[in-house]
Copies of this chain bind each other. A is one copy, B any other.
Amino acid sequence: MRDTFKKHLESNLNMLQDSRLLLAISGGLDSVVLAHLCHQLNLKVSLAHCNFNLRAAESDADEDFVLQLADDLDMEVFIESFETENYAKEEGLSIQMAARELRYTWFQELAEQLKFDYILTAHHADDNLETFLINLTRGTGLEGLTGIPEVTGKIVRPLLPFSREALKVYAIDQNIAWQEDSSNASTKYLRNKLRHDIIPILKQMNSQLLQNFQTTISNLQDSQDLIDDSVVRIQKKLTTAEDDQIKLDVLKLKQLSNPKAYLYQLLKDFNFTAWNDVVNLLDAQSGKQVFSSTHRLLKDREFLLLSEIASETDQAPIAIQKSDQEVVVPFGTLRFEHVTAIMDTGNTTIYVDAEKLVFPLILRKWQEGDVFYPLGMKGKKKKLSKYFKDEKLSLIEKEHIWILVSDDEVVWVVGKRADDRFKVTENTTKILKIDLQ
C-alpha cells in the first residue's frame, strides 16, 4: 500500500511533494491511514480536526485520539470546536450540511491564514462508489455519476484510487489504531446499507468491481468533457449576456437535436428544479415564467430571459435627503449637484428646477398606475405602462425600471426620460443636476 501510494503521488500528485499540506482528520480509519502514509513519505503535513460536539464523550475521545496521534507522528495539529446543532438551526440546514459547511469554511480559513498549499481529505474508492449508488437510488444524471474529482481547487483526495479494504489491511498490518464512528446520520445509514449489504454482493458478482468502477467513472468523466465542449459552443451560438440578464434564442434552441438536453446544460447552475416547466417555456406564451430559488426564466417573444431574482432589500424604496450628494442605489450611484448651467444631457443625466422638488425625494420601483409628463411632449400626461410599451421594453427591462418621485410626482424615469413638470425654465433660479453613474 505504501509503495502504490508513493507511486500514485509521484505520477499524479507530484505537486504535493514540496507543499505545505493540511490534512483533515476525523480520527477514523481513512484519515488516520492517510496521516500515517504522509508521515512515512515525509510530506509536510499539519493536522486539522473538527470537534462537532454531536456525540458527547465520543466526540471528545476522537479529539484526544487526534492529539495523541499528532504527538506520535510529531505533526502540528489544529483543533476547532463547533456548536453544530445551533449553527444548523440558525442557518436552516441539516446537521450534516451544517457540519460540512463549518468544516470546509474552517479548513479554507486555516489554509488561507497559515499559507497551506493544499488541503488533503481521505475520500477513497468506496466513498466514490457509495456516492454513485446513493445518487442512483435518488435519480441523477451524468454529473451524479462521475465521482468525486481528485483535485478541486486547493482540496486534494490522494486516496481516491484505493479501496477501504486496502486501507484496513494496511492499518492492521502496520498496527495502526483508529476510532470507530458510531454516528447514525441518515446518509450514514444509507452508506452502511451499501457497505454491508450491497457492495459485498456486487464484489461477489465481479471481483474486479472497484477497478472496473474506476474505469467507468473515468469514461463518464470523458463523456462529461465532450458535453462541456458542446455546451460552450452552443452557449456562444445562442445566448447573449445583456446587463443583468442572459438571453436565449428560442428558435435556435428548438433547431437543436435535443433542445431539452441543451436547455438543462445551459441552465443547470441556476438552481431550477421544475425542469418540465422550464422546457414547456419553449412553446409557452410571452410572459410565462419559471422561478428557481435564485433565478427567474421568462419567455419574452422569441427569447428566454434569465435573470437573478432581486433580493427584497434591493427592491425597497430609498429616501433621498436635500443634503445628499451621492446615494448608492441598487443599479449604481446617483449624484446630486447644484449647477449654474445645463451642460451635457443624456439618458443618465437630467437637470431639474430644484425649487420645485419636495424632499425627501423617493427612489422606488415603478408601479402599475404610475403616470408622468414626458419631457418634450408638450405637457401631455402618459401612463408609464403605455410609455414602456411604446418604447418596446421587455418584461424584464420593465421590472428593472426605477422612478425618482417628488411628493409622489415622477421627476425622472431613471435612465429613460425626465418629467416635463420639473424641467429647467427661464424662471428657474436653482438648477439641480442629477446624474446616474
Copies of chain A in the complex = 2
Tell me whether A227 and B216 are in contact in the complex, defined as CB-CB below 8 angstroms, given that A137-B202, A142-B142, A193-B204 are known contacts. Answer: no
Query: Residue on B with the closest CB to A134?
Result: B205
Partner of A136, one of B190, B204, B216, B262: B216
B258–A216 contact, CB under 8 A? no
Where chain A touches its partner, the secondary structure class is helix
**Chain A interface residue number, banded:** 35 or more
Asked if A264 meets B211 with Cβ closer than 8 Å, knowing A198-B201, A230-B227, the reply is no
Does A80 sit at the interface, judged by CB under 8 A?
A: no
Q: Which residues of chain B come closer than 8 Å to A204, judged between CB atoms? A: 193
In chain A between 230 and 273, which residues have their CB closer than 8 angstroms to a CB of chain B?
230-231, 233, 256-258, 260-262, 264-265
Please tell me if the beta carbons of A260 and B137 are within 8 angstroms of each other in the complex. no
B226 touches A205 (CB 8 A): no
Is there contact, CB below 8 Å, between B145 and A209?
Answer: no
Contact A228:B257 (CB < 8 A) given known A139-B213, A208-B139: yes
CB of A220 within 8 A of CB of B139, answer no
User: Is B258 within 8 A of A219, CB to CB?
Assistant: no
Contact check, B140 vs A219: say whether CB atoms are below 8 A apart.
Answer: yes
B206 touches A138 (CB 8 A): yes
CB closest chain-B residue, reference A262: B226
Q: Which residue of chain B has its CB nearest to the CB of A144?
A: B216
Which of B136, B137, B206, B220 is close to A137, meaning CB atoms less than 8 Å apart?
B206
Query: CB distance B137 to A209 under 8 Å?
Result: yes
If A139-B212, A141-B219 are given as contacts, then 7 extra A-B residue pairs at C-beta distance below 8 Å, sorted by A number, are A136-B202, A142-B219, A145-B145, A197-B201, A222-B260, A225-B258, A229-B257
A-B contact pairs, 23 of them (CB 8 A): A136-B213, A136-B216, A137-B205, A139-B213, A139-B215, A141-B223, A142-B219, A142-B223, A144-B216, A193-B201, A193-B204, A194-B205, A197-B201, A198-B201, A222-B258, A222-B260, A223-B261, A226-B226, A226-B230, A226-B262, A226-B265, A228-B257, A233-B233
